Structure 1
Amino acid sequence: MLSQWDIIIRLVLAVVLGGMIGLERERLHVGFRTYSAGFRTHILVCLGAALAMVVSVQIHYEFRGDAARIAAQVVSGIGFLGAGAILREGFVVRGLTTAASLWVAASIGLAVGGGYYLAATLGTLLVLFALVILGTIEDYVRGKRHQGRLRVMLENDPAAVQRVGELLEAMGATVRHLEIQRVSADYQMLVLALRLPAGINRIELLNRLAGLEGVCRVEHLND
Protein backbone atom coordinates (compact mmCIF):
# COMPACT_ATOMS: atom_id res chain seq x y z
CA MET A 1 0.00 0.00 0.00
CA LEU A 2 1.39 3.40 -0.96
CA SER A 3 1.86 5.98 1.76
CA GLN A 4 0.61 9.55 1.40
CA TRP A 5 4.16 10.76 0.85
CA ASP A 6 4.73 8.18 -1.88
CA ILE A 7 1.68 9.46 -3.72
CA ILE A 8 2.72 13.12 -3.33
CA ILE A 9 6.26 12.45 -4.56
CA ARG A 10 5.06 10.53 -7.59
CA LEU A 11 2.51 13.11 -8.67
CA VAL A 12 4.86 16.06 -8.16
CA LEU A 13 7.65 14.30 -10.07
CA ALA A 14 5.22 13.62 -12.90
CA VAL A 15 4.44 17.35 -13.09
CA VAL A 16 8.15 18.21 -13.18
CA LEU A 17 9.11 15.66 -15.83
CA GLY A 18 6.07 16.34 -17.99
CA GLY A 19 6.73 20.08 -17.70
CA MET A 20 10.31 19.63 -18.90
CA ILE A 21 9.10 18.05 -22.13
CA GLY A 22 6.32 20.61 -22.48
CA LEU A 23 8.80 23.48 -22.15
CA GLU A 24 10.78 22.11 -25.07
CA ARG A 25 7.64 22.27 -27.21
CA GLU A 26 6.89 25.80 -25.95
CA ARG A 27 10.36 27.05 -26.88
CA LEU A 28 9.36 26.72 -30.54
CA HIS A 29 6.83 29.52 -30.05
CA VAL A 30 7.54 32.15 -32.67
CA GLY A 31 5.58 35.31 -33.27
CA PHE A 32 1.89 34.66 -32.58
CA ARG A 33 1.98 30.87 -32.91
CA THR A 34 2.56 28.14 -30.40
CA TYR A 35 1.94 24.44 -30.35
CA SER A 36 -1.56 23.31 -29.43
CA ALA A 37 0.09 20.73 -27.15
CA GLY A 38 2.63 22.64 -25.09
CA PHE A 39 3.67 23.14 -21.48
CA ARG A 40 0.35 22.60 -19.67
CA THR A 41 -0.83 19.82 -21.97
CA HIS A 42 2.28 17.72 -21.38
CA ILE A 43 2.00 18.27 -17.64
CA LEU A 44 -1.61 17.14 -17.63
CA VAL A 45 -0.85 14.06 -19.74
CA CYS A 46 2.06 13.01 -17.55
CA LEU A 47 0.22 13.78 -14.33
CA GLY A 48 -2.92 11.98 -15.49
CA ALA A 49 -0.97 8.89 -16.45
CA ALA A 50 0.87 8.92 -13.12
CA LEU A 51 -2.39 9.29 -11.24
CA ALA A 52 -3.92 6.39 -13.19
CA MET A 53 -0.92 4.24 -12.33
CA VAL A 54 -1.06 5.20 -8.65
CA VAL A 55 -4.72 4.23 -8.58
CA SER A 56 -3.85 0.94 -10.30
CA VAL A 57 -1.21 0.16 -7.70
CA GLN A 58 -3.59 1.00 -4.87
CA ILE A 59 -6.32 -1.18 -6.36
CA HIS A 60 -3.84 -4.02 -6.71
CA TYR A 61 -2.82 -3.83 -3.05
CA GLU A 62 -6.31 -3.26 -1.67
CA PHE A 63 -8.47 -5.46 -3.89
CA ARG A 64 -5.89 -7.72 -5.54
CA GLY A 65 -6.93 -6.32 -8.90
CA ASP A 66 -4.96 -6.27 -12.13
CA ALA A 67 -2.63 -3.28 -11.86
CA ALA A 68 -1.81 -3.36 -15.58
CA ARG A 69 -5.38 -2.96 -16.80
CA ILE A 70 -5.74 0.80 -16.20
CA ALA A 71 -2.21 1.45 -17.46
CA ALA A 72 -3.03 -0.37 -20.71
CA GLN A 73 -6.06 1.86 -21.22
CA VAL A 74 -3.90 4.96 -20.74
CA VAL A 75 -1.48 3.83 -23.45
CA SER A 76 -4.28 3.16 -25.93
CA GLY A 77 -6.32 6.23 -24.96
CA ILE A 78 -3.43 8.67 -25.41
CA GLY A 79 -3.59 7.94 -29.13
CA PHE A 80 -6.75 10.02 -29.44
CA LEU A 81 -5.05 13.01 -27.84
CA GLY A 82 -2.00 12.58 -30.03
CA ALA A 83 -4.20 12.49 -33.14
CA GLY A 84 -5.51 15.93 -32.20
CA ALA A 85 -1.97 17.33 -32.35
CA ILE A 86 -1.42 16.11 -35.92
CA LEU A 87 -2.38 18.52 -38.68
CA ARG A 88 -2.53 17.91 -42.41
CA GLU A 89 -1.79 20.88 -44.63
CA GLY A 90 -2.10 19.83 -48.25
CA PHE A 91 0.42 17.05 -48.79
CA VAL A 92 2.33 17.90 -45.62
CA VAL A 93 1.61 16.27 -42.27
CA ARG A 94 2.69 18.23 -39.21
CA GLY A 95 2.67 17.64 -35.48
CA LEU A 96 3.94 14.06 -35.48
CA THR A 97 6.80 14.95 -33.13
CA THR A 98 4.42 16.69 -30.72
CA ALA A 99 2.05 13.71 -30.83
CA ALA A 100 4.97 11.38 -30.09
CA SER A 101 6.08 13.58 -27.18
CA LEU A 102 2.56 13.35 -25.72
CA TRP A 103 2.67 9.58 -25.99
CA VAL A 104 6.06 9.32 -24.31
CA ALA A 105 4.96 11.81 -21.61
CA ALA A 106 2.14 9.42 -20.78
CA SER A 107 4.61 6.54 -20.59
CA ILE A 108 6.86 8.56 -18.28
CA GLY A 109 3.85 9.31 -16.12
CA LEU A 110 3.08 5.59 -15.88
CA ALA A 111 6.69 4.91 -14.90
CA VAL A 112 6.57 7.56 -12.18
CA GLY A 113 3.23 6.29 -10.93
CA GLY A 114 4.66 2.81 -10.75
CA GLY A 115 7.61 4.03 -8.69
CA TYR A 116 10.25 3.64 -11.40
CA TYR A 117 11.89 6.99 -10.76
CA LEU A 118 15.21 6.24 -12.46
CA ALA A 119 13.53 4.98 -15.63
CA ALA A 120 11.21 7.99 -15.73
CA THR A 121 13.99 10.53 -15.16
CA LEU A 122 16.36 8.90 -17.63
CA GLY A 123 13.52 8.60 -20.14
CA THR A 124 12.82 12.34 -19.81
CA LEU A 125 16.48 13.21 -20.37
CA LEU A 126 16.61 10.98 -23.44
CA VAL A 127 13.44 12.56 -24.81
CA LEU A 128 14.94 16.04 -24.39
CA PHE A 129 18.14 14.82 -26.04
CA ALA A 130 16.13 13.55 -29.01
CA LEU A 131 14.04 16.72 -29.29
CA VAL A 132 16.74 19.33 -28.73
CA ILE A 133 20.11 17.87 -29.77
CA LEU A 134 19.00 15.45 -32.46
CA GLY A 135 16.42 17.99 -33.66
CA THR A 136 19.20 20.50 -34.25
CA ILE A 137 21.23 17.93 -36.16
CA GLU A 138 18.18 16.99 -38.21
CA ASP A 139 17.54 20.63 -39.10
CA TYR A 140 21.14 20.99 -40.21
CA VAL A 141 21.06 17.87 -42.37
CA ARG A 142 17.77 18.85 -44.01
CA GLY A 143 18.93 22.41 -44.56
CA LYS A 144 15.89 23.82 -42.80
CA ARG A 145 17.96 26.60 -41.34
CA HIS A 146 17.64 28.40 -44.67
CA GLN A 147 13.98 27.62 -45.29
CA GLY A 148 10.79 28.74 -43.65
CA ARG A 149 7.03 28.69 -43.97
CA LEU A 150 4.84 31.61 -43.00
CA ARG A 151 1.12 32.18 -42.67
CA VAL A 152 0.15 35.83 -42.96
CA MET A 153 -3.36 37.11 -42.21
CA LEU A 154 -3.99 40.44 -43.90
CA GLU A 155 -6.69 42.68 -45.23
CA ASN A 156 -8.30 41.77 -48.52
CA ASP A 157 -6.33 44.45 -50.33
CA PRO A 158 -3.88 43.91 -53.23
CA ALA A 159 -1.71 46.69 -51.85
CA ALA A 160 -1.22 44.74 -48.60
CA VAL A 161 -0.03 41.71 -50.56
CA GLN A 162 2.34 43.90 -52.51
CA ARG A 163 3.82 45.34 -49.31
CA VAL A 164 4.48 41.83 -48.02
CA GLY A 165 6.22 40.89 -51.28
CA GLU A 166 8.34 44.03 -51.28
CA LEU A 167 9.49 43.47 -47.70
CA LEU A 168 10.43 39.84 -48.37
CA GLU A 169 12.36 40.90 -51.46
CA ALA A 170 14.14 43.64 -49.54
CA MET A 171 15.26 41.13 -46.90
CA GLY A 172 16.53 38.72 -49.53
CA ALA A 173 13.86 36.04 -49.05
CA THR A 174 12.81 34.02 -52.08
CA VAL A 175 9.19 32.87 -52.31
CA ARG A 176 9.23 29.21 -53.39
CA HIS A 177 5.48 28.69 -53.10
CA LEU A 178 2.54 31.00 -52.46
CA GLU A 179 -1.03 30.07 -51.62
CA ILE A 180 -3.77 32.65 -51.10
CA GLN A 181 -6.82 31.64 -49.06
CA ARG A 182 -9.91 33.81 -48.75
CA VAL A 183 -10.94 33.96 -45.08
CA SER A 184 -13.84 36.41 -45.32
CA ALA A 185 -14.99 39.40 -47.31
CA ASP A 186 -12.46 41.56 -45.45
CA TYR A 187 -9.49 39.23 -44.83
CA GLN A 188 -7.31 36.77 -46.69
CA MET A 189 -4.53 34.37 -45.70
CA LEU A 190 -1.16 34.00 -47.40
CA VAL A 191 0.74 30.73 -46.93
CA LEU A 192 4.32 31.15 -48.12
CA ALA A 193 7.22 28.74 -48.45
CA LEU A 194 10.42 30.78 -48.35
CA ARG A 195 14.09 30.29 -48.98
CA LEU A 196 15.90 32.53 -46.52
CA PRO A 197 19.42 33.89 -46.92
CA ALA A 198 22.04 32.69 -44.44
CA GLY A 199 22.20 34.76 -41.28
CA ILE A 200 18.73 36.26 -41.57
CA ASN A 201 17.06 37.07 -38.26
CA ARG A 202 13.70 35.29 -38.40
CA ILE A 203 12.32 37.18 -35.42
CA GLU A 204 13.11 40.47 -37.13
CA LEU A 205 11.44 39.21 -40.31
CA LEU A 206 8.28 38.27 -38.40
CA ASN A 207 8.19 41.55 -36.52
CA ARG A 208 8.65 43.61 -39.67
CA LEU A 209 5.93 41.68 -41.45
CA ALA A 210 3.58 42.10 -38.47
CA GLY A 211 4.23 45.84 -38.54
CA LEU A 212 3.17 46.30 -42.15
CA GLU A 213 -0.03 48.21 -42.86
CA GLY A 214 -2.89 45.82 -43.48
CA VAL A 215 -1.21 42.82 -41.84
CA CYS A 216 -3.21 41.40 -38.90
CA ARG A 217 -1.22 38.34 -37.86
CA VAL A 218 1.97 36.48 -38.80
CA GLU A 219 2.64 32.86 -37.89
CA HIS A 220 5.81 30.87 -38.39
CA LEU A 221 4.94 27.28 -39.30
CA ASN A 222 7.15 24.53 -37.97
CA ASP A 223 7.00 20.77 -37.41
Structure 2
Amino acid sequence: MELDWWEIFLRVGCAFFLGAMVGFERQWRSRMAGLRTNALVATGAALFVLLSADLDDVSPTRIAAQVVSGIGFLGAGVILRDGVNVRGLTTAATIWCVGAIGVLAGGGQYAGAAVGAATVMAANLVLRPISRRVERGVASASSEFLTSYLLRVVCRDEQEAHVRALLIQTLSGGNFTLRSLHSEHINGDGEHVAVQADLTTTGQQHALLEQAVSRLSLEPGVSSVRWQALDEAEA
Protein backbone atom coordinates (compact mmCIF):
# COMPACT_ATOMS: atom_id res chain seq x y z
CA MET A 1 0.00 0.00 0.00
CA GLU A 2 1.55 3.26 -1.14
CA LEU A 3 1.07 6.16 1.29
CA ASP A 4 0.53 9.79 0.36
CA TRP A 5 3.40 12.17 1.04
CA TRP A 6 1.45 14.01 3.73
CA GLU A 7 0.76 10.75 5.57
CA ILE A 8 4.46 9.90 5.50
CA PHE A 9 5.33 13.37 6.76
CA LEU A 10 2.72 13.10 9.53
CA ARG A 11 3.95 9.73 10.76
CA VAL A 12 7.63 10.64 10.70
CA GLY A 13 6.91 14.02 12.28
CA CYS A 14 4.88 12.40 15.05
CA ALA A 15 7.68 9.94 15.81
CA PHE A 16 10.29 12.69 15.80
CA PHE A 17 8.24 14.97 18.07
CA LEU A 18 7.34 12.29 20.63
CA GLY A 19 10.90 10.94 20.69
CA ALA A 20 12.22 14.45 21.24
CA MET A 21 9.76 14.96 24.11
CA VAL A 22 11.03 11.86 25.90
CA GLY A 23 14.62 12.79 25.09
CA PHE A 24 14.21 16.26 26.54
CA GLU A 25 13.76 14.80 30.02
CA ARG A 26 16.86 12.63 29.56
CA GLN A 27 18.86 15.62 28.28
CA TRP A 28 17.67 17.74 31.19
CA ARG A 29 19.10 15.16 33.59
CA SER A 30 22.36 15.02 31.59
CA ARG A 31 22.01 11.38 30.59
CA MET A 32 24.07 9.78 27.81
CA ALA A 33 21.09 9.31 25.48
CA GLY A 34 19.36 12.67 25.33
CA LEU A 35 17.26 14.78 23.01
CA ARG A 36 18.85 13.89 19.67
CA THR A 37 19.37 10.19 20.40
CA ASN A 38 15.76 9.53 21.39
CA ALA A 39 14.41 11.61 18.52
CA LEU A 40 16.58 9.69 16.04
CA VAL A 41 15.63 6.29 17.51
CA ALA A 42 11.91 7.05 17.19
CA THR A 43 12.34 8.50 13.69
CA GLY A 44 14.41 5.51 12.52
CA ALA A 45 11.87 3.04 13.87
CA ALA A 46 9.07 4.89 12.07
CA LEU A 47 11.02 4.90 8.80
CA PHE A 48 11.55 1.14 8.94
CA VAL A 49 7.84 0.60 9.49
CA LEU A 50 7.05 2.93 6.59
CA LEU A 51 9.38 0.87 4.41
CA SER A 52 7.38 -2.25 5.14
CA ALA A 53 4.19 -0.39 4.18
CA ASP A 54 5.59 0.23 0.67
CA LEU A 55 6.82 -3.34 0.19
CA ASP A 56 4.06 -5.88 -0.34
CA ASP A 57 6.30 -8.88 0.32
CA VAL A 58 7.55 -7.66 3.70
CA SER A 59 5.47 -8.06 6.87
CA PRO A 60 5.28 -4.97 9.14
CA THR A 61 5.50 -7.22 12.21
CA ARG A 62 8.73 -8.72 10.89
CA ILE A 63 10.22 -5.25 10.41
CA ALA A 64 9.09 -4.23 13.91
CA ALA A 65 10.79 -7.31 15.39
CA GLN A 66 14.05 -6.37 13.67
CA VAL A 67 13.74 -2.81 14.97
CA VAL A 68 13.39 -4.09 18.54
CA SER A 69 16.47 -6.29 18.06
CA GLY A 70 18.54 -3.41 16.71
CA ILE A 71 17.51 -1.07 19.51
CA GLY A 72 18.55 -3.75 22.00
CA PHE A 73 22.15 -3.44 20.80
CA LEU A 74 21.92 0.34 21.02
CA GLY A 75 20.58 0.18 24.57
CA ALA A 76 23.36 -2.18 25.63
CA GLY A 77 25.87 0.52 24.70
CA VAL A 78 24.64 2.88 27.41
CA ILE A 79 24.74 0.31 30.25
CA LEU A 80 27.85 0.67 32.39
CA ARG A 81 29.04 -1.21 35.46
CA ASP A 82 30.30 0.93 38.35
CA GLY A 83 31.53 -1.33 41.15
CA VAL A 84 28.56 -3.29 42.47
CA ASN A 85 26.11 -0.98 40.72
CA VAL A 86 24.95 -1.04 37.10
CA ARG A 87 24.28 2.34 35.52
CA GLY A 88 22.29 3.19 32.42
CA LEU A 89 19.46 0.69 32.79
CA THR A 90 16.83 3.42 32.94
CA THR A 91 18.29 5.13 29.87
CA ALA A 92 18.45 1.83 27.98
CA ALA A 93 14.84 1.04 28.90
CA THR A 94 13.82 4.52 27.74
CA ILE A 95 15.50 3.97 24.36
CA TRP A 96 13.67 0.65 24.04
CA CYS A 97 10.33 2.33 24.78
CA VAL A 98 11.10 5.18 22.36
CA GLY A 99 11.64 2.57 19.63
CA ALA A 100 8.16 1.21 20.34
CA ILE A 101 6.78 4.75 20.15
CA GLY A 102 8.40 5.17 16.74
CA VAL A 103 6.96 1.87 15.53
CA LEU A 104 3.46 2.94 16.61
CA ALA A 105 3.82 6.35 14.96
CA GLY A 106 5.18 4.79 11.77
CA GLY A 107 2.20 2.44 11.70
CA GLY A 108 -0.23 5.34 12.00
CA GLN A 109 -1.21 4.57 15.60
CA TYR A 110 -0.94 8.18 16.76
CA ALA A 111 -3.00 7.79 19.92
CA GLY A 112 -1.00 4.78 21.05
CA ALA A 113 2.28 6.56 20.35
CA ALA A 114 1.18 9.65 22.30
CA VAL A 115 0.00 7.56 25.26
CA GLY A 116 3.27 5.64 25.19
CA ALA A 117 5.35 8.83 25.22
CA ALA A 118 3.32 10.29 28.08
CA THR A 119 3.67 7.07 30.07
CA VAL A 120 7.45 6.93 29.59
CA MET A 121 7.84 10.54 30.69
CA ALA A 122 5.62 9.92 33.71
CA ALA A 123 7.72 6.89 34.68
CA ASN A 124 10.95 8.91 34.49
CA LEU A 125 9.57 11.98 36.28
CA VAL A 126 6.99 10.72 38.77
CA LEU A 127 8.53 7.40 39.79
CA ARG A 128 12.02 8.83 40.32
CA PRO A 129 11.37 10.44 43.76
CA ILE A 130 9.36 7.39 44.82
CA SER A 131 12.25 5.05 43.98
CA ARG A 132 14.60 7.34 45.93
CA ARG A 133 12.45 7.02 49.05
CA VAL A 134 12.27 3.25 48.67
CA GLU A 135 16.06 3.02 48.31
CA ARG A 136 16.63 5.12 51.42
CA GLY A 137 14.11 3.04 53.35
CA VAL A 138 15.63 -0.36 52.56
CA ALA A 139 19.30 0.63 52.44
CA SER A 140 21.54 -0.89 55.10
CA ALA A 141 25.21 -1.65 55.56
CA SER A 142 24.78 -4.99 53.76
CA SER A 143 22.72 -3.73 50.81
CA GLU A 144 24.10 -3.17 47.32
CA PHE A 145 22.92 0.43 46.95
CA LEU A 146 25.78 2.85 46.38
CA THR A 147 25.83 5.78 48.82
CA SER A 148 27.96 8.91 48.47
CA TYR A 149 29.29 10.84 51.45
CA LEU A 150 31.00 14.19 51.85
CA LEU A 151 33.35 14.54 54.83
CA ARG A 152 34.74 17.99 55.65
CA VAL A 153 37.41 18.79 58.24
CA VAL A 154 38.51 22.33 59.14
CA CYS A 155 41.94 22.51 60.72
CA ARG A 156 44.90 24.84 61.12
CA ASP A 157 47.15 25.25 58.12
CA GLU A 158 50.14 23.50 59.72
CA GLN A 159 47.99 20.46 60.55
CA GLU A 160 46.76 19.91 56.98
CA ALA A 161 49.20 17.13 56.02
CA HIS A 162 48.61 15.30 59.30
CA VAL A 163 44.82 15.56 58.98
CA ARG A 164 44.88 14.28 55.39
CA ALA A 165 46.98 11.27 56.38
CA LEU A 166 44.82 10.58 59.43
CA LEU A 167 41.67 10.87 57.35
CA ILE A 168 42.89 8.28 54.86
CA GLN A 169 44.02 5.98 57.69
CA THR A 170 40.71 6.27 59.53
CA LEU A 171 38.60 5.53 56.46
CA SER A 172 40.75 2.64 55.26
CA GLY A 173 39.22 0.40 57.92
CA GLY A 174 35.72 0.71 56.40
CA ASN A 175 34.26 -0.27 53.05
CA PHE A 176 34.82 3.18 51.60
CA THR A 177 36.10 4.21 48.17
CA LEU A 178 37.86 7.57 48.19
CA ARG A 179 36.84 9.38 45.01
CA SER A 180 38.57 12.68 45.73
CA LEU A 181 40.47 14.46 48.49
CA HIS A 182 41.33 18.13 48.27
CA SER A 183 42.13 21.08 50.51
CA GLU A 184 41.43 24.78 50.24
CA HIS A 185 42.06 27.80 52.42
CA ILE A 186 38.97 29.29 53.99
CA ASN A 187 38.09 32.68 52.52
CA GLY A 188 39.29 35.56 54.63
CA ASP A 189 41.28 33.29 56.92
CA GLY A 190 44.82 32.31 55.99
CA GLU A 191 45.30 30.18 59.10
CA HIS A 192 42.67 27.48 58.52
CA VAL A 193 42.24 24.92 55.77
CA ALA A 194 39.17 22.88 54.81
CA VAL A 195 40.02 19.28 53.90
CA GLN A 196 37.17 17.64 51.98
CA ALA A 197 36.82 13.94 51.11
CA ASP A 198 34.32 12.55 48.57
CA LEU A 199 33.50 8.95 49.47
CA THR A 200 31.32 6.13 48.21
CA THR A 201 30.34 2.88 49.87
CA THR A 202 27.76 0.13 49.54
CA GLY A 203 24.73 0.54 51.76
CA GLN A 204 24.83 3.05 54.61
CA GLN A 205 27.90 3.42 56.80
CA HIS A 206 26.71 6.18 59.13
CA ALA A 207 28.16 4.52 62.24
CA LEU A 208 31.63 4.26 60.72
CA LEU A 209 31.53 7.91 59.72
CA GLU A 210 30.50 8.90 63.23
CA GLN A 211 33.51 7.03 64.56
CA ALA A 212 35.76 8.83 62.07
CA VAL A 213 34.30 12.19 63.12
CA SER A 214 34.87 11.40 66.80
CA ARG A 215 38.46 10.38 66.08
CA LEU A 216 39.26 13.47 63.99
CA SER A 217 37.59 15.92 66.37
CA LEU A 218 40.05 14.96 69.10
CA GLU A 219 43.03 16.08 67.05
CA PRO A 220 44.68 19.35 68.10
CA GLY A 221 44.20 22.08 65.53
CA VAL A 222 40.90 20.64 64.22
CA SER A 223 38.12 23.16 64.69
CA SER A 224 35.18 21.36 63.04
CA VAL A 225 34.30 18.03 61.41
CA ARG A 226 31.06 17.24 59.61
CA TRP A 227 29.73 14.75 57.10
CA GLN A 228 26.62 14.40 54.95
CA ALA A 229 25.12 11.72 52.75
CA LEU A 230 24.55 12.69 49.13
CA ASP A 231 21.91 11.31 46.79
CA GLU A 232 23.54 9.21 44.10
CA ALA A 233 22.56 10.25 40.60
CA GLU A 234 20.03 7.94 38.87
CA ALA A 235 21.07 5.88 35.97
TM above 0.5: yes
Give yes or no for contact 1:179–1:192 (8 Å, CA) kept in 2.
yes
Give yes or no for contact 1:49–1:110 (8 Å, CA) kept in 2.
yes
Closer/same/farther in 2, CA of residues 178 and 68 from structure 1, 3 Å limit: same
Alpha-carbon distance in structure 2 between the residues aligned to 1:8 and 1:91:
46
Give yes or no for contact 2:44–2:102 (8 Å, CA) kept in 1.
yes
**What letter matches 1:86 in structure 2?**
I
Unaligned runs of 5+ in 1: 30-34, 151-157, 166-174, 182-189, 196-219
CA offset digits 1:79-98 (Å, max 9, x no partner): 11000010001111111010
Alignment partner, residue 28 of structure 1: 29
Alignment partner, residue 131 of structure 2: 138
Note the C-alpha offset of 1:67: 2.3
Closer/same/farther in 2, CA of residues 176 and 20 from structure 1, 3 Å limit: farther
Give yes or no for contact 1:22–1:41 (8 Å, CA) kept in 2.
yes
Note the C-alpha offset of 1:191: 6.7
CA offset digits 1:125-179 (Å, max 9, x no partner): 11111111112211122239xx9648xxxxxxx97x95xx9xxxxxxxxx98323
Alpha-carbon distance in structure 1 between the residues aligned to 2:175 and 2:17:
42
Note the C-alpha offset of 1:69: 2.0
Alpha-carbon distance in structure 1 between the residues aligned to 2:15 and 2:38:
10
Question: Is 1:3 aligned with 2:4?
Answer: yes
Alignment partner, residue 104 of structure 1: 97
Closer/same/farther in 2, CA of residues 68 and 141 from structure 1, 3 Å limit: same
Note the C-alpha offset of 1:58: 1.4
Q: How does 1:50-61 map to 2 (within 5 A)?
A: 50-60=46-56
Give the superposed CA RMSD.
Answer: 3.1
**What letter matches 1:6 in structure 2?**
E
Within the candidate set 87, 92, 96, 2:85 is matched to 92
Closer/same/farther in 2, CA of residues 85 and 11 from structure 1, 3 Å limit: same
Alignment partner, residue 212 of structure 1: none
Give yes or no for contact 1:46–1:108 (8 Å, CA) kept in 2.
yes
How many residues matched?
164
Alignment partner, residue 41 of structure 2: 45
So what's the TM-score if we normalise by structure 1? 0.64
Alpha-carbon distance in structure 1 between the residues aligned to 2:148 and 2:95:
24
